[in-house]
Amino acid sequence: MVEGDLTNRAAIFQALKGRGIGAVMHFAAHIVVAESMAAPGKYFYNNVAGSINLLDAIVDAHIPYFVFSSTSEVYGEAQSLPLAEDHPKQPTNAYGQSKWMVEQMLQRYSAAYDLRSIALRYFNAAGAAEDGSIGEDHQPESHLIPAALLAALGQSTFALTCSPVDTPDGTTVRDYVHVEDLASAHALSLDALAHGHPTDAFNVGLGVGYSTKQVIEAVQRITAVAFKVAEGAPREGEPAARWASNEKIQRELGWTAAHDLTSIVSSAWRWHKSHPDGFASHA
């Protein structure tokens, strides 16, 4: 375990050099859409410049494989649904733009240095480990499902922050993926790279769109708590509707989702009930 900062170039080179590392998976990023609109420089410095430092260190250490945490935010407003990997990339916020910039860099690093990589475009990672060991604990909490669960626990009020959009119920529509299904996508990506798969990108989502109101209703049904939904300040930069085509990752990597929305919310609810103060509950 080496604790460091991707913007410290020398430290990253030192951490990777001479350790016999066979692959790198890159998860570190700022990820809050609204914040990225207010502070784009923070996102480009950390997410883009930090990734350049990491990629250069990987090349220097002769590490052959790389798996990158990307996002469905690279697509922007959907021109067609479901979103396939070849959909135009027109991110509407600095977070999505920073991830798309790194994806473009990966193509160049692959051509110049033979660093083969797979970028996984997450569609709203959610849920908790089935064994109850790991869950979401953000400070402050900005993700829909854990925010609704905290409201069900009576720990906070729930505010609807999506802008009015042209969808059936007027709230944003998103796809979700359980964290354990996401983990399996990373393992399959490493296996594929080790067996010669070229640099590529894959969507990771259920392939189904759920509106914000539908997710709130699912949380209320599973928790049996009819918490109040207040009107919050709309967040800028969020597209109206987005869900994945997951045919490519099924076909090329053999990935399938083992969890649906009910399973995602249920696993998260079990974790939040047993960790009412987050990870501090068992500190």
Tokens encoding 4 = 């460091």
DSSP assignment, residue 232? -
Distance of alpha carbon 234 from alpha carbon 283, whole angstroms: 35
Phi, psi of 231 (to 5 degrees): -95, 120
- Catalytic annotation present for 95: yes
Check if the beta carbon of residue 91 is closer than 8 Å to that of residue 50: no
Name the catalytic one among 95, 109, 122, 176: 95
HEC states along 140-205?
A: CCCCHHHHHHHHHCCCCCEEECCCCCCCCCCCCEECCEEHHHHHHHHHHHHHHHHCCCCCEEEEEC
Q: Tokens 């170039």 — which residue? A: 9
DSSP assignment of 121-144: EES-EE---TTSS-----SS---H
Instruction: Tell me if 128 sits within 8 A of 179, measured CB to CB.
Output: yes
User: Which residues are annotated as catalytic?
Assistant: 95
